[in-house]
């Protein structure tokens, strides 16, 4: 590509894409952060996000309403996390086993239903969420980066301080963190540990479902069986890399999204590296982060431990 | 009975096929300390938990302040003014003291009243004579300080009845004296206190004592009318095995020597710093100190599980290098680790498999390239017999064993012939007198065989009964070494708390 493209326009475009790409990751990461702080090591994020995207697709393809599509996405995400809560909090199944099983279930079911849905009529496309068309969007630089974003992107960013406030400034947040550190403390006070874990799971599932819904409505005009492409796993990595803190998770999500935005622009940038390398960049970054992290001690002490009253 | 704060009749609780509590009556008066005394597994914690609403009885009735109660959850008991300090810490280490006090407080709304709570906590702490820093993180507090926070927490929520489940298991002798002073103060204010203990010295400080054995109540007595011998006989239903006597013996050659042994600061826990010691054949050397003062690091290095950062280990005159578990095993080092379930046994494996671990490549467990499970079961059956282990048989999972029985399995494995050095870190922790006597007998037998034994214990009774020499560890350093004959409890207690007592001589 010609050199004159190396100007502000590309940088602006990359930054705008970064924020857009961050949106589904942030929704999901803030939700799953709450789930994990409650002690549930939810491995079914990918499955919940995929289910959210699929439910949004079915809803918008049949009704044409983005609002209904987002509600369907939230509902689907909550169903997956409800199953996860039943398995882990009630039936005391190992958290990893439960999560992996749900991912397989979600991948299989969405594919099956998708085939059933399109058979005979072909794949319908839809008009998803369009960015707002207002004067601020025409501002130079800041316009495309900040104001030409969909309102859900702003909401995703707003979730970071909201979750922070919930965790660190409210009674419910304190008790939520206590669930991940030592649930027996709450149990000894007569607080229903299992009910709280359900609540935290459902919140995580709703947020991840919403992320999946945004993913399909903002980035696509049709459903693809691998539309989430590992984003659910990136969310899990971002939470670990972010040290289970809202701001840390925000930072990790930013890194992943920036790398993905670069990949989108790889052709334009013409760096001469294979396109596939760029596509793999967020995942390579996540591997590097995980192997080099030194702050696993910030992990909630009993994250992923099945809690049974009175066991050592 | 009139004037009882709390009264229970015929409490029964079963766990599967085990009847943990069988028709037990209990009552508590205002202004008394009522002890629950019994062996491991006698049902003390079960009874205490029922009184605090943590578990529900299958049968029986409970009345508090004259009114009948059916607690559905601890919150109901707390509403009645009944608070409990649990056997295992119920604090969140990552939280501050104030956050810990806030967790689970009854109340509604989203924003907790931090300032108000801090004021109340300070006032109560002052009353109890506790120094309190609400902003301190619990992970930075000593074990004793954590126990004060637990008590404070219970009292803030519930101010009529305080139930403590083995609160001194983790305290130094001095801290336990302080605890009893605190309890005396509370008692004088009319609180009823239920104290679970299997230590006679503590029981003797109570007003009344209820002895439990295998889930049944043996008797409730006024403490003043009884004596330690009677209580022990009631507890185990027989006379205790006699303690061996300490005949002077000639110690043999030096088997283990460490020179300025130091572990890395980053290894986790308190490192061992500059530890030089010698252990001779046929000698038991004691390490006194509150757990978590570098004993674990010292023992791990001697067992080969942790590489020293500097200094050296010499066994039979030869320097050990590299320090590794196989190398130490080969030189005859055997080890009873501090946490019997995490470090000593594999919970999911059977008793016979656990007994083989580490020596499964040698006779009698080896048959060609295979493991001889028949031989393992025969060995296990013998061990179960000899150590009187309460279990269903050699195939029982280790995790199903109570603490005392698990310790017997470990002892049997590590005592087996071939060991020349025995390391035992807190081997009597949480065990009742019966098992403690078994542990003592085993260590003595090993010594008499000519092994070099290193024993770390928080219980000075263990050390005074068994050791030839005693070292005191504090924050990773050896503060002092003395012959057991001149050891004096006051001095060791002070050294354990990090104070050099003013030299009298
Ligand atoms: N949650 C539980 N599940 C199964 N068995 C239990 C449970 N709690 C206690 N038990 C059993 O009940 C008996 C009494 O235990 P416990 O009350 O803890 O004794 P103590 O406190 O006197 O050592 C023991 O045999 C123990 O194994
Ligand atoms: Mg107990």
pLDDT at B503 over 80: no
How many domains does chain B divide into? 3
Tell me whether residue A22 is in a domain: yes
Q: Is the CB of A172 inside 8 Å of chain B's CB atoms? A: yes
Is residue B462 a part of any domain in this protein? yes
B36/B149 same-domain check: yes
Distance from the CA of B119 to the center of ligand 1, in angstroms? 39
Domain extent, residue A119, equals 3-292
Between CA A111 and CA A130 the distance in angstroms is 27
Are both B180 and B44 inside the same structural domain? yes
Backbone angles phi, psi at B263, to 5 degrees: -105, 160
CA torsion A64-A68-A70-A76 (nearest 10°) is: -110
For the cut 80, the answer to whether the pLDDT of residue B251 exceeds it is no
CB B307 within 8 A of CB B316: no
What is the share, in percent, of chain A residues with pLDDT greater than 90? 63
Query: Is there a domain that residue A112 lies in?
Result: yes
pTM confidence score: 0.77
Residues of chain B found within 8 Å of residue A184, distances taken between Cβ atoms: 86, 88, 90
Q: Compute the average pLDDT of residues B12-38.
A: 92
Atom from ligand 1 closest to the CA of residue B48: 17
User: Does pLDDT of A297 surpass 80?
Assistant: no
pLDDT bucket at B1, cuts 50 / 70 / 90:
very low
Structure tokens belonging to residue A149: 């974003």
Does B390 reside within a domain? Answer: yes
Of B236, B266, B299, the position where a domain reaches its end is: B236
CA of B45 to the centre of ligand 1 (A): 7
Give the pLDDT band of residue B250 (cuts 50, 70, 90): low
Asked if B316 and B443 sit in the same domain, the reply is: yes
Residue A309 resides in a domain = no
Establish whether residue B168 lines the binding site of ligand 1, counting it when its CB lies within 6 angstroms of any ligand atom.
no
- Both tokens of B267, joined, read 């290894």
Chain B interface, best mutation among A190, A298, A307, by max B CB count within 10 A: A190
C-alpha distances (whole Å) from B54 to each of A52, A92, A277, B189 are: 40, 20, 57, 26
Q: Give the DSSP letter of residue B238.
A: S
**Res A1: pLDDT:** 45
Q: What's the domain range around B369?
A: 346-406
CA dist B20 → B55, B57, B211, B405, B494 (Å): 12, 10, 14, 17, 40
Give the C-alpha separation, B406 to B341, whole Å. Answer: 8
Domain match, B212 and B293 both: no
Q: Does residue B155 share a domain with residue B25? A: yes
Residue B71 is assigned to a structural domain of this protein: yes
The verdict on residue B1 lying in a domain is no
The answer to the question of residue A67 being in a domain is: yes
How many domains is chain A built from? 1
Please count the CA atoms within 13 angstroms of the CA of B262 that sit on its side-chain side. 9
B277 and B396 share a domain?
no
**What residues of chain A lie within 8 A of the CB of B105, using their CB?**
189
Residue B249 lies in a domain: no
Quote the CA–CA distance of B37 and B39 in Å, as a whole number. 7
Instruction: Give every CB contact of residue B498 below 8 A, 6+ residues apart in sequence.
Output: B474, B475, B479
Q: What is the pLDDT of residue A302?
A: 85
Domain-located, residue B243 = no
Is A308 within 8 Å of chain B by CB?
Answer: no
CA-atom Rg of chain A in angstroms: 20
Residues B439-489: tens digit of each pLDDT: 999 999 999 888 999 999 988 888 988 999 999 999 999 999 998 888 888
State the distance from the centre of ligand 1 to the C-alpha of B390, rounded, in angstroms: 14
Stretch A100-124: mean pLDDT: 91
CA A77-A79-A84 angle, to 5 degrees, is 95
Residue B247 in any domain: the answer is: no
Minimal C-alpha gap between A18 and chain B (Å)? 34
Residues B379 and B263 in one domain: no
Alpha helices by DSSP H, listed for B23-79, are 44-51, 74-79
C-alpha span between A163 and A157 (Å, rounded): 10
Query: Chain B: nearest CA to A244, how far in angstroms?
Result: 13
- List the single residue in B78, B102, B110 with the smallest CB-CB distance to A190: B78
Ligand 1 centroid–CA B18 distance in Å is: 8
Regarding whether B113 and B28 lie in a shared domain, the answer is yes
Q: Residue A280: which CATH number?
A: 1.10.3470
Residue A257's alpha-carbon distances to A26, A279, B217, B368, in angstroms, are 10, 11, 66, 58
Task: State whether B55 and B167 are in the same domain.
Answer: yes
Q: Report pLDDT for B112.
A: 83
Report the CATH number at residue B202. 3.40.50.300
Is residue B102, in this structure, part of any structural domain at all? yes
* Pairwise CA distance, residues A72 & A53, whole Å: 9
**A301: contact with B, CB 8 A cutoff:** yes
| B94 with A188: Cβ contact below 8 A | no
Q: Is A177 on the interface with B (CB under 8 A)?
A: yes
If one counts every other C-beta atom within 10 angstroms of the C-beta of residue A23, the result is: 25
Does A304 reside within a domain? no
Write down how long chain B is: 505
Res. B402 pLDDT band, cuts 50 70 90: confident
Q: Are residues B323 and B350 in the same domain?
A: no
Does B154 share its domain with B221? yes
Q: What six digits make up the tokens of B51?
A: 């009184």
Tell me, yes or no, whether B223 and B372 share the same domain.
no
- In the block, which residue shows the tokens 């004060």? B148
B337-345 LR contacts (CB < 8 Å, sep 24+): B337/B299, B337/B303, B337/B425, B338/B291, B338/B295, B338/B296, B338/B299, B338/B425, B338/B426, B338/B429, B340/B403, B340/B406, B340/B407, B340/B410, B341/A312, B341/B398, B341/B399, B341/B406, B344/B406, B344/B410, B345/B398, B345/B406, B345/B409, B345/B410
Interchain contact, B103 vs A178, CB within 8 Å: yes
Burial class (CB within 10 angstroms; exposed 0-12, middle 13-18, buried 19+) of B320: buried
Whose C-alpha lies nearest to ligand 1, atom 26? B41
Q: What is the mean pLDDT of residues B420-449?
A: 89
């Amino acid at each position: 590509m010609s050199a004159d493209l190396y100007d502000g326009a590309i940088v602006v475009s990359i930054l705008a894409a970064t924020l857009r790409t961050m949106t589904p990751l942030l929704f999901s990461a803030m939700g799953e952060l709450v789930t994990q702080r409650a002690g549930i090591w939810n491995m079914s994020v990918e499955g919940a996000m995929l289910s959210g995207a699929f439910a949004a697709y079915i809803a918008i393809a049949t009704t044409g309403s983005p609002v209904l599509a987002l509600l369907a996405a939230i509902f689907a995400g909550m169903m997956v996390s409800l199953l996860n809560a039943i398995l882990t909090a009630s039936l005391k199944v190992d958290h990893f086993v439960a999560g992996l099983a749900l991912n397989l279930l979600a991948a299989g079911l969405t594919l099956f239903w998708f085939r059933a849905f399109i058979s005979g009529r072909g794949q319908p496309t839809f008009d998803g969420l369009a960015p707002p068309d207002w004067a601020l969007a025409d501002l130079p630089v800041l316009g495309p980066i900040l104001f030409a974003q969909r309102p859900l992107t702003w909401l995703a960013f707003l979730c970071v301080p909201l979750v922070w406030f919930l965790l660190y400034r409210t009674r419910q947040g304190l008790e939520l963190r206590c669930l991940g550190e030592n649930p027996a403390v709450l149990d000894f006070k007569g607080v229903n540990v299992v009910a709280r874990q359900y609540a935290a799971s459902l919140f995580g599932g709703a947020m991840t479902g919403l992320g999946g819904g945004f993913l399909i409505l903002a980035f696509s005009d049709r459903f693809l069986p691998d539309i989430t492409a590992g984003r659910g796993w990136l969310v899990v990595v971002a939470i670990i890399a972010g040290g289970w803190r809202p701001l840390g998770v925000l930072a990790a999500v930013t890194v992943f999204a920036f790398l993905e935005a670069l990949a989108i622009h790889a052709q334009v940038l013409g760096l001469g590296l294979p396109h596939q390398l760029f596509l793999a960049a967020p995942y390579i970054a996540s591997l590097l982060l995980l192997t080099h992290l030194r702050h696993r001690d910030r992990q909630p002490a009993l994250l992923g431990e099945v809690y049974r009253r009175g066991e050592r | 009975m009139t004037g009882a704060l709390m009264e229970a009749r015929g409490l029964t609780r079963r766990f599967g096929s085990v009847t943990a509590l069988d028709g037990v009556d209990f009552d508590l008066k205002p202004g008394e300390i009522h002890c629950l005394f019994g062996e491991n597994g006698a049902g003390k914690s079960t009874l205490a938990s029922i009184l605090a609403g943590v578990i529900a009885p299958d049968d029986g009735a409970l009345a508090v302040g004259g009114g009948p109660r059916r607690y559905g959850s601890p919150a109901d008991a707390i509403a009645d003014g009944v608070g409990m300090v649990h056997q295992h810490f119920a604090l969140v280490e990552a939280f501050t003291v104030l956050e810990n006090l806030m967790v689970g407080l009854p109340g509604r709304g989203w924003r907790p009243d931090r300032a108000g709570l801090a004021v109340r906590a300070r006032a109560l702490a002052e009353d109890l004579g506790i120094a309190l820093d609400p902003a301190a993180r619990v992970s930075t507090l000593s074990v004793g300080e954590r126990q004060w926070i637990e008590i404070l927490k219970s009292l803030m929520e519930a101010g009529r009845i305080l139930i403590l489940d083995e609160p001194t298991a983790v305290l130094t002798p001095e801290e336990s004296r302080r605890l009893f002073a605190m309890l005396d103060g509370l008692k004088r204010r009319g609180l009823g206190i239920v104290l679970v203990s299997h230590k006679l010295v503590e029981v003797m400080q109570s007003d009344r004592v209820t002895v439990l054995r295998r889930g049944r109540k043996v008797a409730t007595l006024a403490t003043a009318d009884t004596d330690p011998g009677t209580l022990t006989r009631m507890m185990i239903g027989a006379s205790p095995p006699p303690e061996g006597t300490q005949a002077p013996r000639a110690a043999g050659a030096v088997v283990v020597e460490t020179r300025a042994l130091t572990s890395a600061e980053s290894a986790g826990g308190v490192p061992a710093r500059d530890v030089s010691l010698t252990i001779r054949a046929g000698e038991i050397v004691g390490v006194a100190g509150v757990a978590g003062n570098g004993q674990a690091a010292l023992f791990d290095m001697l067992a080969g599980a942790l590489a020293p950062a500097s200094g050296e280990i010499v066994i039979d005159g030869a320097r050990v290098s590299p320090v590794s578990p196989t190398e130490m095993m080969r030189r005859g080092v055997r080890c009873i680790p501090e946490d019997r379930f995490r470090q000593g046994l594999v919970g999911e494996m059977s008793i016979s498999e656990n007994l083989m671990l580490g020596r499964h490549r040698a006779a009698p467990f080896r048959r060609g390239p295979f493991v001889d499970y028949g031989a393992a079961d025969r060995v296990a059956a013998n061990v179960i017999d000899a150590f009187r282990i309460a279990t269903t048989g050699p195939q029982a999972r280790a995790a199903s064993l109570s603490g005392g029985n698990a310790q017997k399995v470990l002892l049997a494995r590590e005592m087996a012939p071939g060991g020349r050095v025995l390391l035992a870190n807190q081997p009597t922790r949480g065990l009742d007198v019966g098992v403690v006597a078994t542990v003592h007998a085993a260590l003595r037998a090993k010594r008499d065989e000519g092994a070099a034994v290193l024993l770390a214990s928080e219980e000075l009774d263990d050390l005074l009964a068994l050791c030839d020499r005693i070292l005191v560890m504090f924050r990773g350093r050896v503060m002092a070494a003395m012959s057991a004959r001149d050891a004096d409890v006051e001095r060791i207690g002070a050294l354990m708390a990090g104070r050099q007592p003013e030299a009298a001589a």
